[in-house]
Amino acid sequence: MSELDESMDMNTQMMLDGNALAGKLQTIFGVEMTATSSICAQCGGTSMMGELRAFTQSPGIVLRCPACESVMLRLVQTPQATLLDARGVMYLKIPAY
């Protein structure tokens, strides 16, 4: 049963880590992505993909910077295609495979 904590807003309580999206990210990029680094285009902070804040309770997925909370990545999957909006990411390291 869901139990919400009244001291925290609902979006915060629904939030996950990028780590939870390991499978999805690996399908898209072809390699394990959660231990790789990303730089936020807004604040310049460096974070591992696994530590980004993940909001998944919607038709798409939003990944935010853990430091400044700006949107870094938006991801929507349809039966036809995967749509990736990465304008909030300055830099993303994709490991070789």
**DSSP-assigned letter for residue 36:** S
x/- site string to other proteins, residues 57 to 86, per CB under 8 A?
Answer: ------------------------------
Q: Is 92 in the site for other proteins (CB under 8 A)?
A: no
d(CA 82, CA 76): 6
Nearer to other proteins, 4 or 83 (CB): 4
State which of positions 2-61 bind other proteins (CB under 8 A).
2-5, 7-8, 10, 12-20, 22-23, 26-27, 30-36, 48-51
Q: Which CB sits closer to other proteins, 7 or 81?
A: 7
Residue 91: CB partners within 8 Å, gap ≥ 6? 37, 38, 39
Neighbours of 80 (CB within 10 A): 6
Residues 71 and 55: their CA atoms lie apart, in Å, by 10
CB 35 within 8 A of CB 44: no
Chain positions contacting other proteins, by CB under 8 A: 1-5, 7-8, 10, 12-20, 22-23, 26-27, 30-36, 48-51, 97
